[in-house]
Structure 1
Amino acid sequence: MKASELKTKSATDLQQELLSLTKAQFGLRMQVATQQMTNTSELRKVRRDIARVKTVLKEKGAQK
């Protein structure tokens, strides 16, 4: 997910994206805890996507 893609979305879409990413992060953390996860880089990608969404939300809030 790129920041340029996120900037075109509305704030409500970004909130929904953030919610789905946090749920995905929780699921991945449970997989790590139960040693079911084979691709540990997924957790890093999701964490960075969450940071991107939060950054764009903050920028949109500062513009208003």
Structure 2
Amino acid sequence: MKANEIKEMTADELNTKLAELKEELFNLRFQHAVNQLENPKRLQAVKKDIARVKTFIRKHESEAQ
């Protein structure tokens, strides 16, 4: 995901996206454990996307206060 896409999301959309990314990360880790992961770089990309989403969630929270 691009940062521009994340900036345009609302807080509810960000929370939904965070849940989706965490589920995807879980599935990727499971695939990695059973040696069925085709693209190991995807693990790293999902972790970075989670960090980006969490950053913008925190930014929305601080702006609300």
Over the aligned positions, Cα root-mean-square deviation in angstroms equals 0.6
Distance in 2 (CA, whole Å) between partners of 1:15 and 1:39 is 26
> How many matched pairs?
64
Task: Please name the residue that 1:52 is paired with.
Answer: 52
Query: Runs of at least 4 residues of structure 1 off by over 4 A?
Result: none
Aligned to 2:43: 43
Residue ranges of structure 1 left out of the alignment (5+ in a row): none
**Worse-matched range after superposition: 17-26 or 3-12:** 3-12
- Distance in 1 separating the partners of 2:47 and 2:35: 19
Q: What is the rounded CA distance, in whole Å, between the counterparts of 2:36 and 2:5 in structure 1?
A: 32
Amino acid at match of 1:41: K
Unaligned runs of 5+ in 2: none
- The answer to whether the aligner puts 1:33 opposite 2:33 as a matched pair is yes
Given the two structures, how large is their TM-score scaled by the length of structure 2? 0.94
The TM-score with structure 1 as length reference comes to 0.96
Residue in structure 2 matched with residue 7 of structure 1 by the alignment: 7
Identity over aligned pairs, percent: 39
